[in-house]
Every structure is written in structure tokens, then in C-alpha cells.
Structure 1
């Protein structure tokens, strides 16, 4: 159910942003990237979850884990960076509107999007290879519906404190620092918004930025619960539940959060359906 919602909702945003010229803006360009990331992110984990639910085996093979870990880390890291870029876009739009077209030039936006993807896949290559150097004891069946670093470290029969420290450092770089940058951007946005004289402008700012902050919260809070504490800090069942939230629930809710009360999207749908020529 959630997977179908994720597919439909995110594909809807991608195609609508592409087809409607009014949505050819940096905000919807980055939103399309986020939707595509969410599609890939859920596809890298949910099929295995469905196999576990309906099949006799409730584990994932070590080889499958290697492949899946790489993509989960890559896409998750890329999304962390992309959410920072989206907050910067909103900061420029609200705090420096006269310079927006210069600062958020299409070429620069494409470079930012490429940087998000490259940083994710490069970081994942380093971190996943370092994780798979850890020798495992006994069986190589991961008790999880998808492969995560904490789940792998639990299978090790050697001291994993170095790996746990590396995990904490990497999480700080790609979770804590992005979160600080996002909150700093919205702190500046809030100060600017409160000085606005226009009630309509104020409502639009808080509507757009509020949706983004909700998405940030739904994505970052569960990840911090998993990656900012030692693998022994969470029970396996608790870890599965938290992982299920940010890999399945959050990507399915993102399209609803961004479009439910979005007048630009509603106008684009009406234009696409031929219900209105001028919006």
C-alpha cells in the first residue's frame, strides 16, 4: 500500500513538474529530484521487505546485503544533502528575492543536484567498503528487511568500536551538519518573514517552508535514532520499526505534504486537465 502510494505520488510530482512550464523553477526542480530519490530509496528496500513478508525466509543474503547497503547509503546521503540545498533555495527566495534569479541560475541548480548525487554515491562507496571489511561470525544472514550498517555490525565477532566511531563521524557530517544548516536557513527565513507586511506573502512563506520542515523532521529524526548511537543501543525489532518509518512511510508522505495545500500544484493540475488556461 505504502509502496504504491510512493510510486504514484512521486511519479505524479516528477511528470507534473516536467509537463507544466509554470513549475520550471528551482524549487520544483529540486522537488523532482527529491521525488526521484524517494522512488529509488524505497525501491532499494521495499521489494526485499515484501519478500520477507510473503516468503518463508525472513532474512537477506550477505551478497544481497552488500549491494543493497551501497544503494541505501548512497541514496540516503544524497537526500540529506538535497534537503540542505532545498532549504538554501527557500532562503534565497525569501531573504534575497531580488537576487534570486542570479543566485539560483538553472546551470547552478543543475550543478547542485549533481553534487548531491555524487556526494551520496562517493560517500557510500567508501563507507560500505569499510563496513564489509569487518569479519562476520557464523551465519551470514542479516536479521533485517534491508541491510543497514548497525545490523551488519551486530554480526561481527571482532571489536567494532572503530567502525562505530566511523559511523558516528559520517553520521555527524551528513546528518548533524545538514540539519544545522537547514535550521539556520529557516531561522533567517523566520526573521525575514516576521518583518513582512503582506499577509498573503507571509502565509505563502510559512506554507512552503512548513512543508519542507515537516519532510526534514520525518526523515532526519528516525535516521538520528538509528545512526547516532551504537548498534547495541537499539534492539533489533526497534531498529526495524524505525527503519521502516524512514524507508517506507516518509517517502510515501512527502508528495502529500508538498502538494496537499499547494496552489501552484493545483493550478498545474487544472492546466494539464484543461480546466483553466490562466491561473
Structure 2
């Protein structure tokens, strides 16, 4: 039995690896991105090109989007030239962008009106997880049709969980980003403390990353900080976007999130001094700069 055609929009730091893993697993992939040059590598490896989201949606059995901001999600899904209006009846729409839970619910409702199955399925794991096919995938949508998507998700991730109805995936991703935000401050402060105390921070990591202080950020981003490697596995500008969404959602629920708001204020300052296109571990640069003032 032939595998479903995947339509993929968005080939950034993570999207490129996700497409590559799908092709390696034998899924035919057609794609679109605003700048075709960014897709050339994947096109040379076997992906097919479509000129716009509408044409892509007409060809795909499963549409996957991995774009930057909620505004980008709206642009590719809505309107006469968008995915929802042009997708084949019965096809699946999967937005893997970290976006607004309320927008995910809107996409679901409008897709349902046209006989389409929409899911929000943001991911965690950064560039490394995307390359290795070990992303965590947090999904929201109908349980009835979820099994159809599992073979696709399991190529890109190893921890795939349906969290609940539409929007639940995005709410879960907000929980993820809230936990990361405060944790990142702790990781940076621990490393800068070690350095200021005259310790070798790499040796310090050998002790603390396996105890109660252990975390993904400490083990994976701590070494990058120490090596002054601020290449983006996940952009600062996108993390700020995520924190904004989480704060807005928390405010709607009248939930105080002081740690999240503090973290966002520090990342805002980092962005102002030119760090928006760095990886999230670049918060270390901001702390170092403040310590030297």
C-alpha cells in the first residue's frame, strides 16, 4: 500500500530535518516555502515543489506546517488561497508551529466545516531532536482519527502524546516553554557562578547535571554556553514569541506567571542588543555582559 503524500510548509532549523526524515522513511513529500532557495537542498534529495500553499494542499493527503509566528499560520491556512479552502476532503491538516491555542481551535472548527481533520502538534527537542527523529510531539485534536497520523509522527518523534481536543497540544507546549524559561535562567546563573568562583564549569557540569539540578537545557545547552557556541537550535526571537503567547494565555486564565515574565524581560533585553537570531542559550551572553558592567 502506497504511503500518503505529505505536503510540508516551512523548512527552517527544524523543518528541514523533519522533511528529510519523512523522505528517508519513504513518504513522498511535496513542499512550499517563501524562499525557494532554502528548499533547494531538499528538492535535490527528492522532494517536489509546489508554487503556493493552495496548490500544495490540493496534492497532499497530509498537510504539515512548521512556520514562524501565528500570523504566518493564519496566512497559510485561511482565505481563498489558503490550505483549508483548497485541501482535499478527508485530508489531514497538522500545524506543528508553536502558536496560539485559540488559533488552533479556530483552524479545527473551520477545517471541520469542510470535512478536514485538523490537529495542532507543536514539538520540543530543538535542532538535535529534529535531526535524530526524537522530537516530543504534543498533539491536540480528535482521538478518532489520530491513529492515522501516528506513522508520520513516529518518524519525526519518539514521544508522541495526544493531549486532548483541539488547542490541547498548544497549551501543553506553553507548559513546556514556561518550564524552560525559568530553567534557562537557572542554568545560566549556575554556569556564571561557577566561572566567577574560579571553577571549571565543564567539571561542575559533570556533578550537577546528574543530580536534582539535571535538565535537558543544562546537559545540552550548558556546554554550548561554555564554548561560546550560540548557533540557533531554537531562535531567541521565536522563544520570545512563545513566551508572549504563554503570558497572554495565562492572563486570560488569570494565572500569575512571575518566573515566565522575568525570563521574557531578560530575553527582550538580549534581543535589543542584537541577540534575536542567536540560539536561546545566548542568554548566557547577556548575563556575562551584565556581570562585566
Normalising by the residue count of structure 2, what TM-score does the alignment of the two structures yield? 0.31
- Which is bigger in relative contact order (C-alpha 8 A, separation at least 6)? 1
Pick the structure with more helix per residue: 1
Normalising by the residue count of structure 1, what TM-score does the alignment of the two structures yield? 0.32
Pick the structure with more strand per residue: 2
